[in-house]
Amino acid sequence: MMAETEWEAVAVILSKLSAAEINKLSHIIAEQITFNKVPSSEACMKKLSNEEWCHVTRLLSKFYKTAIKQALSEEQIQECLHQLPEEQKTAIKNAISTHRQDLRLSLLDDTTAVSQCVLKDFDWQLKLVMSSDKLSSVNEPLLNVDLNLQDGTGSFEQVAVELDQADLKKFLASLEACSKVSND
């Protein structure tokens, strides 16, 4: 987790704050991770230097992410924080408990955003081509699939794919292969 000296530094910095300010700071850091926003230092800036503020938010953010990634229970979180005074432990533990689901979802979103694009939604239509300008009777089914993709920056792109019967069989076979790999 975090080195003993890092926790000691956090304890010294947090000792400058009241219990209410520590509680507020703990929730601000959890919301920073959840909503990907820069934490406002207004709440504690009168008592902390800019360097102290950056140090404590960076270390606590790292701890929150590790606690969620490792699915630590409240008791395990309490054990990890054994160097801190009781009021600091309680504030941090409560912030993690309160925001646990949102933190987990945020970390999952960050993980899936590592790839180029993520499928967010799709729509499909089945069409039957009756004839073309060269053939009077075709009767070929075509599947139109519209894929709504989101890239790592959050922008959306729509991709339209038209599959005939042979292409559809190849596509389904590749999806089944992907499913087998992910289930193993």
Tens digit of each residue's pLDDT (9 = 90 or more) over 14-23: 888 888 888 8
- Token look-up 């646990």 returns 100
**pLDDT at site 101:** 93
Find out whether 82 and 51 touch, Cβ atoms under 8 Å.
no
Residue ranges making up the domain that contains 140: 118-182
Encoded tokens for 29: 């850091």
Same domain, 77 and 126: no
**Which stretches of 39-155 are assigned E, i.e. beta strand?**
117-129, 140-151
Q: Is the dihedral of CA 129, 135, 137, 139 positive or negative?
A: negative
CATH assignment of the domain containing 160: 3.10.450
Among 114, 149, 168, where does a domain finish? 114
Number of domains in the chain: 2
pLDDT digits (tens, 9 = 90+) for 95-137: 999 999 999 988 888 776 666 777 889 999 998 877 766 666 6
Rounded Cα distance, 52 and 48, in Å: 6
Same domain, 109 and 122: no
Mean pLDDT in residue range 154-174:
90
What is the DSSP annotation of 18-39? -HHHHHHHHHHHHHHHHHT-PP
**pLDDT at site 115:** 66
